[in-house]
Structure 1
Amino acid sequence: MILHGHVNDKLKEIPKESVQCVVTSPPYWGLRDYGTASWEGGDENCDHLQPHGKPRNERPNKTECGIGKGGNQFDAQELKQYNGVCKKCGAKRIDHQLGLEPTPEEYVEKLVEVFRGIRRVLKQDGTVFLNLGDSYNGSGGPGNQWDNKAKKGGFKKFNNPMRDYKGLKPKDLVGIPWRVAFALQADGWWLRQDIIWHKPNPMPESVTDRCTKSHEYIFLLTKSAKYYYDADAIREPGQDWVERDRSNMRNGTEDKLLKHHGLTGKLTKTKVPSGWDTKPGSHSTIHRGGRSSPEYVKYPEIISRNKRSVWTISPKPYTNAHFAVFPP
């Protein structure tokens, strides 16, 4: 079932505590305009535009937002729509989309409101995976978040004049993901983990004074200290264990264990002790009995490991009118 509409309205249609897991990637702050704004009142023939900032050829850094140097195309001063009320005709701008707030604080406040609705529909032992990207202050362009090969329909590339926040220095990293995470934590959510989404094939950036951005954050959030989390479902192969040198070790169960879990390869047998021998006079020695073969089989962690917090997932191209497609 797909509910189409404003997230705050549609969340109210979902029964309380009926959702086990939420995976979401809200529109990033100051990234693009989806063209949903409308104007009320004023002159219908007015363009509601105003000059913004210095002409591009007078800016000290023309590369931070991915804009090349030189050429008459950069001489003109940028124009932006009035935010709120048009000073030329008095029309009022109406736009409910998330991401075009004038300040990071307003963006964070709106997301906190959305997540209060999510908390209502989430089960007590449910989880939330929140993906958010960041941006730089004074960088009106979308940077490497923009894919100019895709057919985005009416969703135009957006130079956001509002991403020039007076509370930060030019070129400062805004820190949107962590601002949101800490605000949600303060609002009652358990901030359980920050996961790094490593992108092996990021969009290029024409910057020369910092690294190209190749990661985003995924936050694991819960509404209680105890929650459902299936660690075994996402375990990773314990490659170090399988490949390590066993030339000087002894055991009689590793080969059976490998076969039981579908692994192959000739390995020298090794001994895995069960713990300290606590009998009188023997407290300083390892129990020589070891673990039996059935006990080994109960513990797949011997040949696998808990999922690490850096996830390498390559984004895939998508040619239709959508920016935030999750990788398949």
Structure 2
Amino acid sequence: MNHCFQGDCRDVMQRLIADGARVQCIVTSPPYWGLRDYGHPGQLGLEPTLQEFMANMVEVFELCRQLLADDGTLWLNMGDSYAGSRRGGSLVNDSSTLQGSKKNQEACRVAGVTASRRRDDAPVPRSDVRIEGLKSKDLVGQPWRLAFALQEAGWWLRQDIIWHKPNPMPESVKDRCTKAHEYLFLLTKGERYFFDQNAILEPVSPNTHARLSQNVQAQIGSARANGGAKTNGNMKAVGRKVASSGDVTKNNASFNAAMAIMPTERNRHSVWTIPTQAYSGAHFATFPEALVEPCILAGSRPGDIVFDPFMGSGTVASVAQRLGRHWIGAELNPEYINLQADRTRQHGLLLELAAVCVEA
């Protein structure tokens, strides 16, 4: 536990499954198809066709399902891209394609496509690929294609969560809106699974209290406010009306009782507004920790194991460790292993220092 295995995530998971390992929660963001070259033979994301990429993703997440506990959850972040070619200074021209062309893949590398796990370091979504069945400038729909493929493969597709980015990358496009969201899918092995709703409750909106106040004021003196009994003549307020302010709710027993039981938290909504987060240890933008945290809190208990098959710089490991969970990861690029070690070591030192302070 608390270790990232370097290598293809499929090989890593097969070994873990053979050893009898099980994890409670998986949080990950796989490579998007046709957008980045990691510089490793056999890497996922540069398959000749979108269909092959989806087939490989289904294979990856079938192994995830075998590794996952029966009541476990998978939280899957996936961005999108557009069909057609990128214009303006690239060595890749309008006729380029990734339909099996090694020359094109080499051109992408020469053009300076940054090797990174996440795509937020460039104006995205963008793509240099032609896709059979899609027109130039068509939205590929990678997130939903993958979600439906996994659903067909046997996963329960429980929810789509919108990751709203208040600080999206600027885009120079003039014929559509700037992309400011990605999808996060919640998938499970069955219809019943562990989900700690209370761990991710959010504060109620101030407008909720205002609406309740208006509702109580509207009912004061009505039949509902008098236990259903009919009133004679004009409706009268239950409480004392303060003439100076005109506030019929002041010192009103019904209003005070209603506000006393007013909840301060609510079930978390499906739109999460979370800024992208830079990480000084790498030149690419990483998973924001605030996006990973509710997934781990809702999907696991302290002491459970959290897994990321595409560990990258180690954000999932870092958050899991900070929240008192164990973690396991897989990463193809050996250069990222040191980044992960630095991040998890920092949290380990903080926990040790906190323990010393408590003892003192």
TM-score interval (norm. to shorter): 0.5 to 0.7
Q: Residues 144-171 of structure 1: CA distance to partner in whole angstroms, max 9, x if unpaired?
A: xxxxxxxx99738999986111321010
Any conservation in 1 of the 2:170–2:178 contact (CA below 8 Å)? yes
Any conservation in 2 of the 1:236–1:306 contact (CA below 8 Å)? yes
User: Any unmatched runs of 5+ in structure 1?
Assistant: 37-94, 142-151, 252-265, 273-289
Match for 2:39: what amino acid? Answer: G
Are the structure 2 counterparts of residues 174 and 180 from structure 1 closer, same or farther at C-alpha, using a change threshold of 3 Å? same
Task: Confirm or deny that 1:9 pairs with 2:5.
Answer: no
- How much does 1:32 deviate? 1.1
> % of aligned pairs identical?
51
Task: Confirm or deny that 1:173 pairs with 2:139.
Answer: yes
Q: Which has the larger radius of gyration?
A: 1
Task: Confirm or deny that 1:326 pairs with 2:287.
Answer: yes
- Find the residue that maps to 1:127 and give its secondary structure: strand
- Of 118, 124, 130 in structure 2, the residue corresponding to residue 164 of structure 1 is 130
How many pairs were matched up? 222
Are the structure 2 counterparts of residues 270 and 131 from structure 1 closer, same or farther at C-alpha, using a change threshold of 3 Å? farther
Provide the rounded CA distance (Å) in 1 between the counterparts of 2:284 and 2:193. Answer: 32
User: Any unmatched runs of 5+ in structure 2?
Assistant: 88-111, 226-249, 290-360
Q: How does 1:1-328 map to 2 (within 5 A)?
A: 1-15=3-17, 16=20, 18-36=22-40, 95-140=41-86, 155=115, 163-239=129-205, 240-244=207-211, 245=213, 246-247=216-217, 270=254, 302-321=263-282, 323=284, 325-328=286-289
**Higher-RCO chain (CA-CA 8 Å, sequence separation at least 6):** 2
- How much does 1:103 deviate? 1.7
Q: Residues 275-297 of structure 1: CA distance to partner in whole angstroms, max 9, x if unpaired?
A: xxxxxxxxxxxxxxx99x9xx6x
Match for 1:104: what amino acid? Answer: L
- Find the residue that maps to 2:15 and give its secondary structure: coil
Match for 1:126: what amino acid? Answer: G
Any conservation in 2 of the 1:28–1:132 contact (CA below 8 Å)? yes
User: What TM-score comes out, normalization by structure 2 length?
Assistant: 0.55
Provide the rounded CA distance (Å) in 2 between the counterparts of 1:24 and 1:133. Answer: 12
Match for 1:113: what amino acid? Answer: E
User: What TM-score comes out, normalization by structure 1 length?
Assistant: 0.60
**What is the aligned partner in structure 1 of residue 95 from structure 2?**
none
Q: Residues 9-33 of structure 1: CA distance to partner in whole angstroms, max 9, x if unpaired?
A: 1112224461110000001111111
Are the structure 2 counterparts of residues 100 and 162 from structure 1 closer, same or farther at C-alpha, using a change threshold of 3 Å? farther
Any conservation in 2 of the 1:19–1:121 contact (CA below 8 Å)? yes
**What is the aligned partner in structure 2 of residue 144 from structure 1?**
none
Are the structure 2 counterparts of residues 101 and 242 from structure 1 closer, same or farther at C-alpha, using a change threshold of 3 Å? same
Q: Residues 212-238 of structure 1: CA distance to partner in whole angstroms, max 9, x if unpaired?
A: 000000000000110001111111222
- Find the residue that maps to 1:2 and give its secondary structure: strand
Name the Cα RMSD after superposition: 3.3
Are the structure 2 counterparts of residues 103 and 241 from structure 1 closer, same or farther at C-alpha, using a change threshold of 3 Å? same
- How much does 1:304 deviate? 2.1
Are the structure 2 counterparts of residues 170 and 138 from structure 1 closer, same or farther at C-alpha, using a change threshold of 3 Å? same
**What is the aligned partner in structure 1 of residue 320 from structure 2?**
none
Q: Residues 247-277 of structure 1: CA distance to partner in whole angstroms, max 9, x if unpaired?
A: 46679xxxxxxxxxxxxxx9965479xxxxx
Match for 2:115: what amino acid? Answer: F
Provide the rounded CA distance (Å) in 1 between the counterparts of 2:59 and 2:53. Answer: 10
- Find the residue that maps to 2:16 and give its secondary structure: coil
Any conservation in 2 of the 1:196–1:217 contact (CA below 8 Å)? yes
- How much does 1:325 deviate? 1.6
Structure holding more helix per residue: 2
- How much does 1:241 deviate? 3.5
Provide the rounded CA distance (Å) in 1 between the counterparts of 2:32 and 2:38. Answer: 12
Match for 1:27: what amino acid? Answer: P
